[in-house]
């Protein structure tokens, strides 16, 4: 079903460039994750970055806690071709080194670097190479003075913290930055981003920090990021899960897909099942999800258990299935053939891949690909 008429008006933001990926302006909202391997283990980190890229990640962040890790970051940079954000805390020497070694973005808070000359050196290194900076405020590590003033982390305290870091960059006439304001509390995060969205023109990186396990983290992120995205706030996002980072990418895209903000891979529409179902909907859906996991191009697939909602959904999708006696497969909105339960998964996979092939061919004929 199309979302025509419900388009989200995105907040205008100044566009920055994280390697080849634009963030802000009218660029698609990008999806990021972060490696959780030991950065000095170059082979393991490269393998994880490649897996994240294969899952559709636009940008990957790598933590660089030491100078030794900075050298490993350089080796990693040479072996992957996706924009990399180097995550640095405090140590300006690490920032300078990864800038030399090809970081596409520095995640460092200028207010935590210390002496002015050090801050200036990092900003000049970033400016020279066209590397943006991400300011990352976390409710769990607010400055002591702010905690004293506000007594506890609050949205305003988070925004004040961000504005301090922002002010340092702006004093140095540096404007290529993006900002995140993360808390593990959904309401606090939403309130903080709303406040900052009106104060600056730079892109916002969304996230709910320490959101939790696969299930609870997905729910918190979907609610928090969903509210903000629906209001047009957010230019890039990371879903933080205590799970395989690949899941962060999947959930990130699912959130964007649900709001019609980005399409990637199979948009699987399935009914929740009830006693009217004419085949094992859950089993078929699970098998299809696994088999079609490699697809990055957008395509709608509807799998519906009976004729109550089946024909309507199947007609709106690229490929659809309506349970019945017999069950009916739809292609491009039209009934295509009958299928029995044993062959359902095979036939659906086949039709999805053929539909993608036709879309690609049409694009080539129009000279778009
Ligand atoms: Fe039940 Fe049919 Fe609705 Fe699926 S579409 S939940 S099988 S009534």
> pLDDT for 201-227, tens place per residue?
999 999 998 878 999 999 999 999 999
- Answer yes or no: do 248 and 285 share one domain: no
* Alpha-carbon span 119 to 124, nearest angstrom: 9
**Predicted confidence (pLDDT) per residue in 256-277, tens digit:** 999 999 988 899 999 999 999 9
What average pLDDT score do residues 65-73 get? 97
Do 171 and 206 fall within a single domain?
A: yes
The predicted structure's pLDDT at residue 7: 86
Distances (CA, A) of 97 to 74, 94, 335: 9, 5, 60
Find how far residue 21's CA is from the centre of its chain.
13
Q: What is the number of domains present in the chain?
A: 2
Name the percent of the chain lying above pLDDT 70. 99
Mutational test site, ligand 1, from 270, 271, 314, max ligand atoms within 8 Å of CB? 271
**Co-location of 212 and 151 in the same domain:** yes
> Residue 297: inside a domain, yes or no?
yes
Predicted local confidence at residue 4, as pLDDT: 62
In a domain, 1, yes or no: no
**Token pair for 49:** 């970055």
- The CA 328 to ligand 1 mean position distance, Å, reads 15
In a domain, 3, yes or no: no
DSSP single-letter state for residue 332:
T
Identify whether the C-beta of residue 315 lies closer than 8 Å to the C-beta of residue 254: no
Q: Reduce the DSSP state of residue 62 to 3 states and report it.
A: strand
- Whether residues 112 and 85 fall in one domain: yes
**Same-domain status, 97 and 118:** yes
Q: How far is the CA of 332 from the centre of ligand 1 (A)?
A: 22
Q: Is residue 226 part of a domain?
A: yes
From the alpha carbon of 305, which atom of ligand 1 is closest? 7
- Boundary-marking domain end, from 258, 278, 296: 258
Of all helices (H) and strands (E), which one includes residue 85?
Answer: strand 84-87
Q: Is 9 exposed, middle or buried (0-12, 13-18, 19+ CB in 10 A)?
A: exposed
Asked whether residue 278 falls in the same domain as residue 237, the answer is: no
- Closest residue CA from atom 6 of ligand 1: 273
Which has more confidence, 284 or 2?
Answer: 284
On whether both 164 and 38 belong to a single domain, the answer is: yes
CATH value at residue 100? 3.20.20.20
Domain end call among 203, 235, 258: 258
**Residue 81 near residue 58 (C-beta atoms within 8 A):** no
* Same domain assignment for residues 92 and 236: yes
Give me the chain's average pLDDT, please.
94
Containing domain of residue 343, as a range? 266-366
Give the three-state DSSP class for 39. coil
Write down which residue in 232, 258, 284 finishes a domain: 258
Whether residue 5 is contained in a domain is answered as no
Q: What share of the chain has pLDDT > 90, as a percent? A: 86
Which of 272, 275, 276, 321 is the best mutation target for the ligand 1 pocket, counting ligand atoms within 8 Å of the beta carbon and taking the most?
276
Are 248 and 314 in the same domain?
Answer: no
Q: Are residues 130 and 235 in the same domain?
A: yes
Please indicate, yes or no, if residue 315 is contained in any of the structural domains: yes
Please give the DSSP secondary-structure letter assigned to residue 6.
-
Specify the ligand 1 atom closest to the Cα of 278. Answer: 7
* H-helix or E-strand spanning residue 160: helix 155-171
pLDDT at 264: 82
Residue 313 is part of a domain; what is its CATH number?
Answer: 3.30.413.10
Whether residue 2 is contained in a domain is answered as no
Co-location of 296 and 226 in the same domain: no
Edge-to-edge, what's the strand order for the sheet holding 133-138? 177-182, 133-138, 105-107, 84-87, 59-63, 30-34, 236-238, 205-206
Helices 92-100 and 116-129 cross at an angle (nearest 10°) of 10
**Could you tell me the pLDDT band of residue 6, with boundaries at 50, 70 and 90?**
confident
């Amino acid at each position: 079903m199309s979302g025509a008429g419900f388009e989200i008006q995105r907040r205008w933001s100044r566009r920055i460039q994280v390697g080849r990926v634009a963030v802000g302006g009218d660029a698609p909202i990008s999806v990021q994750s972060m490696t959780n391997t030991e950065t000095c283990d170059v082979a393991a980190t490269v393998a994880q970055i490649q897996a994240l890229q294969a899952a559709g990640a636009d940008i990957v962040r790598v933590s660089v806690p030491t100078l030794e890790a900075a050298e490993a970051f350089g080796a990693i940079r040479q072996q992957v071709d996706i924009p990399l954000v180097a995550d640095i805390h405090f140590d300006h020497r690490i920032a300078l080194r990864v800038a030399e070694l090809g970081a596409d973005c520095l995640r460092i808070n200028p207010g935590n670097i210390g002496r002015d000359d050090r801050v200036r050196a990092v900003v000049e290194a970033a400016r020279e190479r066209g590397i943006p900076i991400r300011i990352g405020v976390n409710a769990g590590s607010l400055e002591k003075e702010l905690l004293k003033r506000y007594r506890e982390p609050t949205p305003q305290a988070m925004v004040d913290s961000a504005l301090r870091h922002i002010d340092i960059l702006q004093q140095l006439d540096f404007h290529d930055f993006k900002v995140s304001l993360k808390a593990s509390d959904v309401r606090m995060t939403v309130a903080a981003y709303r406040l900052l969205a009106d104060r600056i023109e730079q892109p916002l990186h969304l996230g709910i920090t320490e959101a939790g396990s696969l299930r609870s983290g997905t729910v918190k992120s979907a609610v928090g990021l969903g509210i903000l995205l629906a209001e047009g706030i957010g230019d890039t996002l990371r879903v933080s899960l205590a799970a395989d980072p690949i899941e962060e990418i999947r959930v990130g895209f699912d959130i964007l897909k649900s709001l019609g903000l980005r399409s990637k891979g199979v948009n699987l529409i399935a009914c929740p099942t009830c006693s009217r179902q004419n085949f094992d909907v859950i089993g078929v859906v699970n098998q299809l999800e696994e088999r079609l996991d490699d697809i990055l191009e957008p395509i709608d697939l509807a799998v519906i258990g009976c004729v109550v909602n089946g024909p309507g959904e199947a007609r709106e999708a690229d490929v659809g299935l309506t349970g019945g006696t017999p069950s009916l497969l739809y292609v491009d909105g039209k009934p295509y053939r009958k299928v029995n339960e044993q062959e359902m998964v095979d036939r659906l996979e086949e039709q999805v891949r053929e539909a993608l092939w036709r879309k690609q061919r049409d694009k080539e004929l129009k000279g778009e690909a």
